[in-house]
Chains A and B, each alone.
Chain A
Amino acid sequence: MTARGERAPWLTLKMREAMEAWLFLSPTLVGFLIFFVGPLFAVVWYSLTEWNLLSQQTTFVGLDNYDDALLRNPDFWQVVRNSIVFAIGLVPLNMALALGLALALSRRFPGVIFFRTVFFAPVVTSAVAWAIVWKFLLQGEAGFVNQMLAGIGISGPNWLREPDWAMVAVIVTRVIKMVGLNMILYIAALQAIPRDYEAAARLEGASNWQIFRMIIWPLLGPTTLVIMVITTIGSFKVFDHIYLMTGGGPENGTLVLAFYIYQQGFQFFDVGYASALAMIMFVIVMALTIVQLALRRRDT
């Protein structure tokens, strides 16, 4: 005789299973709600208020913060332009370099592990150490980079003190730091492509370029999309690198969105305005991601 026969079950099996599932999920779910969904909604609310962190005074101001950022604050548009320039400079350079390195290092040859390690090492290097070393190398006349350039008769700029060159400097040093990550993703994707395709194409007399253009590049499509999306998002969110290398200067030349948000929230203690800027950045990044996904869908 089973327990089932003695009395009617309090819960059906299906309900019990569902309850167990929720119980198992609950630790993660509670954390997710408190630390992820909660703050997300809180930011929306904060963005509608004027909240001075120090005096703890909060006033509901509706869409004033958005209105100010989008219509009245000239700095905001310079910041957006800087972020776009940073992304346009960084994303193609990073991806091209990552693909080139991956193509060179995806085959097995003596020393390949060494080279992969060399290119991946900056990814795991501390951002602070990286910035300090580069700031030292990129000094004006006395800097290593300019000394090298002087050796071949080129008078280098004062890299981190001239707005346009400072942007070039932060993009290039960021690419060198992060390219290893995308290189590894590309290597994994390249190694997953069956060798038979290439062998068959060669039998048909295809050149190296044709093999790359017609076979490898299309098969790398999904990986390229993922890399493009995460690199673009990453480039809009860049903060530590700017904070450490230039502090947004000179002349606001490298003042990007994430750093501007930090400045408003954590230096001016204007949390409401910073939250509105964060929401605008969220929308920009979201829109870019949707566009990239749509382009990909159209291609396939």
Chain B
Amino acid sequence: MKAAKGILAASTFALMLGSSPAWTAELRFTVWTGNEAHLAMLNGIAESFKEKHPDVTVRYETIPAGDYTQKLTFQLAGGNPPDAGWMMEDAASTFANAGVLEDLAPALNAAEGYDLADFSEPAMGLWTADDKVWGVPFSTSPFVIFYNKDMFDSAGLEDPLALAEKGKWDMDKFQEVAKALTEANGKWGFEFKDGQGYDTRIMHALMPPIRAYGGDVWSNGECGFDKPEAVAAVQQLHDMVFTDKSIVPPGENGDYFSGNAAMTINQISRASLMPDAGFNWGIAPLPTGPGGEAPVIGQAAIVVFAAGRQKELAAEFVAHMTNEANVAEMAQFFPPARNSVLSSEAFTASNKLIPAEQMEIVGDAIAKGSVLPSHERSPQLLAAMKPRVDALWRADANVEEALKAVCAAIQPQL
């Protein structure tokens, strides 16, 4: 009798142990935001996933942006992969080629009412190969010019938005107003993205003018830094830094957000810093050049890791997170890649800090722009470029020779 009781208790316990995990699951999802508003929105999306999977919870894990790709790699290498997560554009090719990402196409095609073709084709470029989908972009954020309206007014200059509307906002005008602003206000005319244009943001500093001149940093395995378009573009920047002295030079601080520079280049997520800045401001498209309009886009996508234990469930969650309703919800922070959302009034009205007519600039840039360059060997390319680009940022540098040296250094890796 005693023995029978024991067996019964043991088997009940075993049943409980065996059955409970099958009904509850937790998805671990890595992000690089710690912003409360962002996390509240993401948790809302996880909550709505419960309608279909009541026992599935999603835990968002914040890893600071600077360490993100590195820490993610260690989690994968250490056999502790998250189920899903955000991924930056510069890591896309490296991760996809290493075979660590799960193909999302089956889950997206199986999801009810999910229209994959609604995503703009250029925006999907980085994340698709043949019929495989390695990631779904959630933020397709073009670079825009942020300007200090007060400084333009006090210098008696037309602001970039007004110039753009008249079709006069080009690279020459940009150089001219930057110089005039510096002379009139005694502050820098322009600051590179987050003041990091000579260090971690080399690409963000060089890419927009090079594309405005009709060039590219590389394409189809060929370096473009030494092409005439790129040389002309970088020469102009060099003149602005060392001759006009209108761009914050290497080794100096001139923060736009604290009123020490009249213009900067950034994405609209930085608008969240503006209410505390204490000056009137606006956003405008990037200046055009001989190559016409060439908006540059920074991108991030949602991916599922192939080594994850719950990859089917995670892929299903990605399909849920990027359906039309949720993309529209996320658009308040992250410009979408879905055409239906981009063209909606809800999108232009979604950002409380940026007026609708300026949000149209963002939508326009997403439609016409191209994403920052990515490469399977991005980290190696940047490291090889860095010392040669450092040599470029000397007052007496020969721009053409310096750019030839950049190409000599990176061509073998391309």
Contact = CB atoms under 8 A, between A and B. Distances in A.
B307 to A, nearest CB: 9
Interface string B50-84: 00000000000000000000100110110000000
B332 interface: no
Contacts of A268: 379-380, 383
Given A54-B94, A55-B98, A268-B383, A247 B249 contact: no
B70 A139 contact: no
A266 B250 CA distance: 27
Interface in B86-127: 94-95, 98-100
A203 B379 CA distance: 69
B357 interface: no
A158 interface: yes
A76 interface: no
Interface in B243-259: 249-253
Interface string A236-274: 000000000001011110010000000100111100000
A56 B95 CA distance: 12
A269 B393 CA distance: 29
B104 to A, nearest CB: 19
Contact of A251 (B76, B94, B98, B387): B387
Chain B interface residue bracket vs A? 20 to 34
Contacts of A158: 250-251
A286 interface: no
A89 interface: no
B250 A140 contact: yes
Interface in A25-65: 52-56
B46 to A, nearest CB: 28
A247 B199 contact: yes
B375 interface: no
Main secondary structure of the interface of B (DSSP, over half): helix
Main secondary structure of the interface of A (DSSP, over half): loop
A247 B201 CA distance: 13
A267 B379 contact: yes
A161 B250 contact: yes
A141 interface: yes
A162 B249 CA distance: 13
A160 interface: yes
Interface of B: 70, 73-74, 76-77, 94-95, 98-100, 198-199, 249-253, 379-380, 383, 386-388, 390-391, 393-394
- 10 tightest A-B CB contacts, nearest first: A250-B390, A55-B98, A140-B251, A252-B387, A161-B251, A54-B98, A251-B390, A251-B387, A158-B251, A161-B250
A160 to B, nearest CB: 6
A159 interface: yes
Given A161-B250, A250-B387, A267 B70 contact: yes
A138 B250 CA distance: 12
Given A249-B387, A250-B390, A269-B73, A139 B253 contact: yes
B64 to A, nearest CB: 14
Contact of A141 (B94, B252, B391): B252
Chain A interface residue bracket vs B? 20 to 34
Nearest to B250: A161
Contact of A142 (B94, B252, B388): B252
Contact of A140 (B77, B249, B383): B249
Contact of A159 (B70, B249, B251): B251
Interface string A136-148: 1011111100000
Given A54-B76, A161-B393, A268-B379, A142 B70 contact: no
Contacts, number: 67
A140 B249 CA distance: 8
Given A139-B253, A140-B250, A161-B251, A53 B73 contact: yes
Given A54-B94, A139-B252, A140-B250, A251 B391 contact: yes
Given A54-B76, A54-B98, A142-B252, 15 more contacts: A55-B99, A139-B251, A141-B252, A142-B253, A143-B251, A158-B250, A159-B251, A249-B199, A249-B390, A250-B390, A252-B386, A255-B387, A267-B379, A268-B380, A269-B379
A110 to B, nearest CB: 42
A56 B379 contact: no
Contacts of A162: 394
A52 B98 contact: yes
Contacts of B77: 53-54, 56
11 contacts: A52-B98, A53-B74, A139-B251, A141-B252, A160-B251, A249-B387, A250-B250, A250-B387, A252-B390, A268-B379, A268-B383
A216 B76 CA distance: 57
Contacts of B94: 54
Interface in A152-200: 158-163
A130 to B, nearest CB: 18
Contact of B252 (A140, A263, A267): A140
B197 to A, nearest CB: 13
A139 B386 CA distance: 20
Contacts of B252: 139-142
Contacts of A56: 77
Nearest to B392: A251
B66 to A, nearest CB: 12
A140 B70 CA distance: 32
A194 to B, nearest CB: 52
A163 B251 CA distance: 13
B144 to A, nearest CB: 28
Contacts of B98: 52, 54-55
Contacts of B386: 249, 252
